């Protein structure tokens, strides 16, 4: 059997920041559910409290305890976890953006090309994914277009949105930036959007982990730790 080609897939910065990010995202999501459980109702508009009609309620007590941080009902503790790791995520993300934009990583590896977003190409990629046919050979050295769109979507759409809606929930920050509250149509709308985006982030993580397992977990996880990635040999060989 032919020895697979080994390439250096992820830079040191990407690898270190990825793992800080991975840990922090889990902690903010779980502490976020703890905070949500203190009033497991979502409203739309400027105000919303128990006498008002909610948009959506998650049971009487919200999410199960195993999904929250801490695992008992502890709003004060949940907030401490949430804000500490939210700050860490902000610094981590800024470092990532600074390095990745200046090094050309974003332009070279993450932004889809014009040819890639052509409907026929997109459709072929979707079909390949559904049939679990992953790129091999030279094609496996780059991100495929669905991968690019997922990463770009999280980095440039979901992350800024979750930060902005999080800040909109701060009565202090609202005094400084009332236009932000107006943009989201009120603090309670911002809270609802914050929750919806968090669910999308959770969905991204679930798909991301499933793809890692399907694409060969050993090779994928190793590439994010050591940077070394064995390129899957093409079927033709």
Count the residues of the shown chain that bind another protein, applying the rule CB under 8 A. Answer: 49
Q: Is 27 in the site for another protein (CB under 8 A)?
A: yes
Contact by Cβ (8 Å): 67, 33: yes
Question: Residue 25 and residue 32: Cα distance in Å, rounded?
Answer: 10
End-to-end CA distance of the chain: 10
Query: Smallest distance, Å, CB 36 to another protein?
Result: 7
Supply the DSSP string of 83-109, one letter for each residue: HHHHHHHHHHHHHHHHHHHHTTHIIII
Other Cβ atoms less than 10 A from the Cβ of 229: the count is 21
**CA 130, chain centre distance (Å):** 22
Based on CB atoms, which residue is closest to another protein, 36 or 96?
36
Q: Is 221 in the site for another protein (CB under 8 A)?
A: yes
Q: Is 73 in the site for another protein (CB under 8 A)?
A: no
Q: Is 52 in the site for another protein (CB under 8 A)?
A: yes
Phi and psi at residue 42, in whole multiples of 5°?
Answer: -115, 140
Q: Is 139 in the site for another protein (CB under 8 A)?
A: no
Among 6, 7, 12, 38, binds another protein (CB under 8 A): 38
**Of residues 89-128, those binding another protein (CB under 8 A):** none
Based on CB atoms, which residue is closest to another protein, 35 or 201?
35
Closest among 151, 38, 30 to 86, alpha carbons compared: 30
Among 55, 111, 152, 169, binds another protein (CB under 8 A): 169
Residue 154 burial (C-beta neighbours within 10 Å; 0-12, 13-18, 19+): middle
Q: Is 217 in the site for another protein (CB under 8 A)?
A: yes
Q: Is 148 in the site for another protein (CB under 8 A)?
A: no
Q: Is 87 in the site for another protein (CB under 8 A)?
A: yes
Residue 223 burial (C-beta neighbours within 10 Å; 0-12, 13-18, 19+): buried
Query: Smallest distance, Å, CB 167 to another protein?
Result: 8
Binding stretches for another protein (CB under 8 A): 26-27, 30, 35-36, 38-39, 41, 43, 46-52, 66, 69-72, 74-77, 79-81, 83-84, 86-87, 169-176, 178, 181, 187-188, 191, 213, 217-218, 221
């Amino acid at each position: 059997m032919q020895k697979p080609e080994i390439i250096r897939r992820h830079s040191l910065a990407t690898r270190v920041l990825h793992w800080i990010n991975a840990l922090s995202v889990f902690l903010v999501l779980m502490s976020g559910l703890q905070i949500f459980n203190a009033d497991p109702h979502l409203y739309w508009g400027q105000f919303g409290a128990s006498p008002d009609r909610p948009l959506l309620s998650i049971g009487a007590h919200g999410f199960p305890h195993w999904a929250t941080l801490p695992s008992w009902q502890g709003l004060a503790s949940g907030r401490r976890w949430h804000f500490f790791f939210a700050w860490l995520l902000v610094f981590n993300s800024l470092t990532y953006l600074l390095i990745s934009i200046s090094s050309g990583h974003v332009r070279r590896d993450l932004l889809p090309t014009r040819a890639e977003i052509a409907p026929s190409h997109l459709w072929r990629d979707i079909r390949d994914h559904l049939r679990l046919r992953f790129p091999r050979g030279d094609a496996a050295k780059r991100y495929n277009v669905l991968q690019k769109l997922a990463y770009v979507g999280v980095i440039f759409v979901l992350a800024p949105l979750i930060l902005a809606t999080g800040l909109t929930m701060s009565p202090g920050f609202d005094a400084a930036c009332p236009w932000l509250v107006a943009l989201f149509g009120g603090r309670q709308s911002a809270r609802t959007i914050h929750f919806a985006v968090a669910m999308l982030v959770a969905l991204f993580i679930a798909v991301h982990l499933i793809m890692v397992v399907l694409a060969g977990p050993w090779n994928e996880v190793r590439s994010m730790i050591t940077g070394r990635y064995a390129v899957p040999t093409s079927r033709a060989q």
